[in-house]
Structure 1
Amino acid sequence: MAQSVIEALLKSKIGLDANSIGAEAIASAIYQRMADCGITDIAHYLGKLQVSTQEWEALIDTVIVPETWFFREPESFAFLKHYVLSEWLPKNPQGVLRVLSVPCATGEEPYSIAIALLEAGLNPTNIHIDAVDISNKCLSKAQRAIYSQYSFRGNSQSFQECYFQATKAGYHLCEQVKSMVNFINGNLADPAFLADTPLYDLVFCRNLLIYFDVTTKERTIQVLERLLRPEGLLFVGHAETWLLFKTQLISVRQDSVVAHRKSTGGENVRKNHHPNPQRQSITGKNIDVLNKRHLPKKNNSKFVAQERLNVAPQNPILPIELKVNLLETARALADEGRLDEAVKLCNDYLNQNQVSTEAYLLLGQVQQAMAQNERAAQSFQKAIYLQPTHQEALTHLALLKEHQGNADSANLLWQRIHRLTKDKQF
């Protein structure tokens, strides 16, 4: 009973959906804090939690597992440099580029942004970076800017040598980059978050929304929209793009980068009614389906599949080309936020093709977006079983293990991904 109350408090205060990380992970954090406080009865701990701001912050620090590293998803930073040089700078030659990183965790992301902008040729005086996190413990480490080798996984040695000094305490970030980031304690789930702050050109908010409950997701997206200037870019995680489908944010996906541009109001932002929609699925792949004819929407996924694919309900065996369309339709439905229907079509496809790596990958991504993390992990594992070198499936599973607090399993997966990356370089 007391744990349920604590879960409800986490939901009301920071928007955390207990299903997103699992009740076991929350219970583990609670009992760790109880041990640290010398409390053996959970009801007594709940009483302490309700009257102690310090204990509340300590519990949040224990529940939140800040897994991050420098230049995580390097394609996003390459896209950032390209955007700044080709689009922002020509329009604002003397302007100040305003960037927000939230949550910033222990600082690797905002410092990566600062380094990327320096390497793009911007002057530090033309860069303003705000980095926000709810955890004071994380912010304290970020401001120290001393990191272990683990924060550099996947990056070249030259990157460390250029911007860090190796010491017995760890790798110290150079003062020039440190001075470029302004760290702030804040709660993105608060509707008044950064209410009096000037608008940002770029916002990085990756792999956070999927851990919020539905109400907090909607409220947070409204906050992110408010913080962006017109034509500004929002970077989110692969499993989060479907959440933005009915907003004024338009996908500008390139390769595996997941970014959305805020509409200026002049274009048609009702993307599902665009005359030639370039559908973007949560898998990070471009698809252009269902745009040859307008189809009525029905809630029953069976009829959706039959109408869109023109498949007779009496015929359970699908031709190869229709099987492919079935998977593409599942991607399109996921992109529209129709997740239950997407799961149904993924399973229909797998009934016909039980060795499809891509189908298990898509199914896992949709299940993760639905906070069905255990099922998602099983789907990613099946994809990896079928194709052991599938880096996207390995990456999704590693991130999922991290957020579930299973650092050992995540670390093994990251080592495996790193070996695959090195092999491709030779």
Structure 2
Amino acid sequence: MSEDLGSFKQLIKEHCGLQLEGLAEDRLRKALLAAATTAGVKHLKDFLNLLRKDDDLVKELITHLTVNETYFFRENGQIELLVEQLLPRLFRLYGQKRPLRILSAGCSSGEEPYSLVIALQETWGQASSRLFQVEGGDLDRRILQKAQRGIYSPFSFRGVPESLRKAYFQPEGSHFQLNPAIRSRVSFHELNLLAPEFPAHLKDYDVIFFRNVSIYFDMETRQTILQKLYSLLRPEGIVVVGSSETLANDLGVFKLVEEKGYYYFVKGEALLPPDSVKLSRQTRVKPIQASIPAESKKPPQVVPRSQPASSEQAANPAPKLEEIRQLIIQQETDLASRQLDLLLSKNTKQQEALLLKAWILGNKREFVKAEALVEEYLQAEPWSADANFLKGLLFKWQNKWKEAISAFRKVVYIQPDSWPAHFYLAEACRYDQQKDSAFRAYKSVQRLLSSASEVATGLKLLPLEVPRSDLLFLTEHQLLRLRQGLTTSHQGRE
């Protein structure tokens, strides 16, 4: 069964918008072979004809293609903004005659809508069950069943204080199950955002969370989906996307606003914050990624997910570092972590693996372990831009702004043109109220990214994919705000 995958990719894209390129092709091929075998079909061409006739079979295939990487209270600052600012604004507009409706579109295994319910419960208490109606929708039927069971591994709690986990979850073997009272507060629906029509009850939402979903769609598909989300909202409504997806969804369907350092989209005028700044991009720059070795252009051959990481792996050659890096980019962090352990056990001189392991640990908020690995690497390579940059990120993620500033400044010293280092230095200075220093660092970012030529990141290893156009936009926005603040401050001292 070696037929071309193009027809399958087109069928799936037309059905639900998923883009299956690069490493995703390998996942598609494995899913097709398994599904065709189950259906008793020997040739993919025959299976393609079967898929075209059976919509349920397509839906079942898609359950093996989606990436369901999420956790509780992901990007919690957005949830805090919702609870503290946006929902009170909606109550002032509509009153409390009806519950406010919130949809988590692309809810995966349920961590996001359950996080919303817990946040509402923490703020409004028992009244929250009357004041709010929370729903979750996803394309993947199987993952919705998991969401309804509400049983999660410890990995899902990397953004949750232990006290909160103990208050709302009960141990279930090595996992934890959400309390029935909270589970009952979320209604789950099968939801294809490209469906020609939605069920009648899926409408009149006040807030839609559409986070970390649009990364799987091209611009045309995103435009179509945003228009559908627009139709699902009431005349005055809000859409929240992942912070890294903000500008990719600024396609003219909604108004993009910034409030307290966070970005979201608004339908209508009444929900605009009092001091909102109109945001628009006048310059669009071609996004670039962190420089990676040329060999990364080849599709990596990785150990299949189903293969145990045991003595069978030990008999095989150690995986290549770039293959592992690509796994991390594809959010296959568990497999990447196992392969890093295998690589380090086979080759103690492969010190770069320490940084990738630290990257994974840092994203899991295991900061002590991550910092130890970074320091071990820096003992051998004290002038590594990647190691010092990761050190700065670990401090930033813990709100240790002065330590982060020191680390990012060292990266700038090592790689003067590293625009990600200048940007995060500016961010850390801004949060530490060092406004003059933040202004200068943002100006450096603006200078570097306004260049007609593509400027290298100065980083060789870390799986940091920062859209150049997004950073330039955010930089110019912060420069405007800082310039206004500095002018007022300087006038006050005169």
Alignment of 1:383-394 (within 5 A): none
Alignment correspondent of 2:146: 141
Tell me which of 111, 117, 120 is aligned to 2:120: 117
Greater relative contact order, per chain length (Cα 8 Å cut-off, separation 6+): 1
Q: Which amino acid aligns with 1:113?
A: L
Alignment of 1:22-421 (within 5 A): 22-34=24-36, 36=38, 40-84=42-86, 86-91=88-93, 92-121=95-124, 122-168=127-173, 170-194=175-199, 197-254=202-259, 257-264=262-269, 277-279=278-280, 333=283, 338=284, 341-343=285-287, 363-364=288-289, 400-402=329-331, 405=332, 407-409=334-336, 412=357, 413-417=359-363, 418-420=365-367
Given that 2:72 and 2:156 are in contact with CA atoms closer than 8 Å, whether structure 1 keeps it comes out as yes
Cα distance in 2 for residues equivalent to 1:101 and 1:113: 9
**CA RMSD, 1 decimal:** 3.5
CA deviations on 1:273-327 (whole Å, 9 max, x unpaired) are x9x85457xxxxxxxxxxxxxxxxxxxxxxxxxxxxxxxxxxxxxxxxxxxxxxx
- What's the % identity of the aligned pairs? 27
Q: Which moved more, 1:1-10 or 1:140-149?
A: 1-10
SS state of the match for residue 120, structure 1? helix
Cα distance in 1 for residues equivalent to 2:24 and 2:327: 16
Report how far residue 242 of structure 1 moved.
2.5
Alignment correspondent of 1:310: none
Report how far residue 42 of structure 1 moved.
2.6
Cα distance in 2 for residues equivalent to 1:42 and 1:11: 18
Residues 24 and 197 of structure 1: is their aligned pair in 2 closer, same or farther, counting only changes over 3 Å? closer
Report how far residue 76 of structure 1 moved.
1.2
Cα distance in 1 for residues equivalent to 2:327 and 2:26: 19
Report how far residue 245 of structure 1 moved.
3.1
Aligned length in residues: 315
Cα distance in 2 for residues equivalent to 1:97 and 1:266: 14
TM-score (norm. length: structure 2): 0.56
Cα distance in 1 for residues equivalent to 2:116 and 2:98: 17
TM-score (norm. length: structure 1): 0.64
Report how far residue 262 of structure 1 moved.
1.2
CA deviations on 1:215-253 (whole Å, 9 max, x unpaired) are 322211101111122332101123432344342422233
SS state of the match for residue 25, structure 1? helix
Q: Which moved more, 1:175-184 or 1:249-258?
A: 249-258
Report how far residue 207 of structure 1 moved.
2.0
Q: Which amino acid aligns with 2:187?
A: N
Query: Any unmatched runs of 5+ in structure 2?
Result: 298-324, 339-356, 368-393, 401-494
Residues 398 and 20 of structure 1: is their aligned pair in 2 closer, same or farther, counting only changes over 3 Å? closer
Given that 1:401 and 1:407 are in contact with CA atoms closer than 8 Å, whether structure 2 keeps it comes out as no
Given that 1:21 and 1:211 are in contact with CA atoms closer than 8 Å, whether structure 2 keeps it comes out as no
Cα distance in 2 for residues equivalent to 1:408 and 1:256: 34
Query: Any unmatched runs of 5+ in structure 1?
Result: 268-273, 281-331, 344-362, 368-373, 376-395
Cα distance in 1 for residues equivalent to 2:271 and 2:120: 30
SS state of the match for residue 160, structure 1? helix
Cα distance in 2 for residues equivalent to 1:66 and 1:415: 19
Residues 126 and 19 of structure 1: is their aligned pair in 2 closer, same or farther, counting only changes over 3 Å? same
Residues 257 and 4 of structure 1: is their aligned pair in 2 closer, same or farther, counting only changes over 3 Å? same
Report how far residue 63 of structure 1 moved.
0.7
Residues 224 and 53 of structure 1: is their aligned pair in 2 closer, same or farther, counting only changes over 3 Å? closer
SS state of the match for residue 233, structure 1? strand
The structure with the largest alpha-carbon Rg is 2
Given that 2:223 and 2:251 are in contact with CA atoms closer than 8 Å, whether structure 1 keeps it comes out as no
Given that 2:226 and 2:253 are in contact with CA atoms closer than 8 Å, whether structure 1 keeps it comes out as no
Q: Which amino acid aligns with 1:11?
A: K
